[in-house]
């Protein structure tokens, strides 16, 4: 088996194992009502809290800001309307972009407020979303590596 394919299988296995641990940790949260962790965010020193909150908050705000920017770009673009005889469908992209801007702005305000009052969920939900996206990307890359065919002829392949 070629080395890249082995790395693909390892990436898929790694992503599946970490996803399993993530799902198992969610069952701990549900069964124990988040009392398994004796850490109270209100009692942490400012340095410790912001050492945790700053990276999560910055990455989350970057994602939220990107969503707002996409919505704003769609709203701001001036497009020549198509000829009515060609397009019978009404274009709802401006309305969707407006709601995307409103929702991302509300999420950004909620995140900043949650970090300000040191709410557990303000850090837990973005951290979980970031983990899920990264694990999904690792899984997808692993599957892409596994399913990619070699283009070299059999006699020229390296083993």
With tokens 């390296």, the residue in question is 158
Task: Say if residues 122 and 71 touch (Cβ distance below 8 Å).
Answer: no
For residue range 25-79, list pLDDT tens digits in order: 766 655 555 544 566 778 878 888 888 889 999 999 999 999 999 999 999 988 7
DSSP string over 98-116: HHHHHHHHHHHHHHHHHHH
Confidence of residue 120 (pLDDT cuts 50, 70, 90): confident
Angle at 73 (CA atoms; ends 102, 129), nearest 5 degrees: 55
pTM for this one?
0.64
Q: Where are the domains of the chain?
A: 3-34+50-77+91-149
Residues 6+ apart with CB under 8 A from 3: none
| Residues ≥6 apart with Cβ < 8 Å to 60 | 111, 126, 129, 130
What residues contact residue 143 under an 8 Å CB cut-off, 6+ apart?
8, 12
């Amino acid at each position: 088996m070629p080395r890249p394919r082995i790395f693909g299988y390892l990436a898929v296995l790694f992503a599946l194992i970490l996803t399993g641990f993530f799902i198992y940790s969610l069952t701990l949260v549900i069964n124990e009502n988040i009392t398994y962790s004796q850490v109270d965010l209100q009692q942490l020193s400012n340095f410790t809290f912001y050492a945790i909150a700053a990276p999560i908050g910055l990455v989350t705000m970057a994602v939220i800001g990107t969503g707002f920017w996409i919505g704003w770009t769609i709203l701001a673009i001036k497009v020549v309307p198509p000829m009515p005889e060609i397009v019978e469908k009404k274009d709802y992209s401006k309305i969707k972009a407006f709601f995307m801007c409103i929702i991302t702005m509300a999420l950004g305000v909620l995140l900043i407020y949650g970090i300000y009052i040191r709410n557990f969920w303000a850090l837990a939900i973005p951290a979980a979303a970031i983990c899920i996206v990264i694990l999904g990307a690792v899984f997808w890359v692993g599957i892409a590596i596994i399913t990619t065919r070699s283009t070299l002829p059999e006699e020229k392949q390296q083993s």
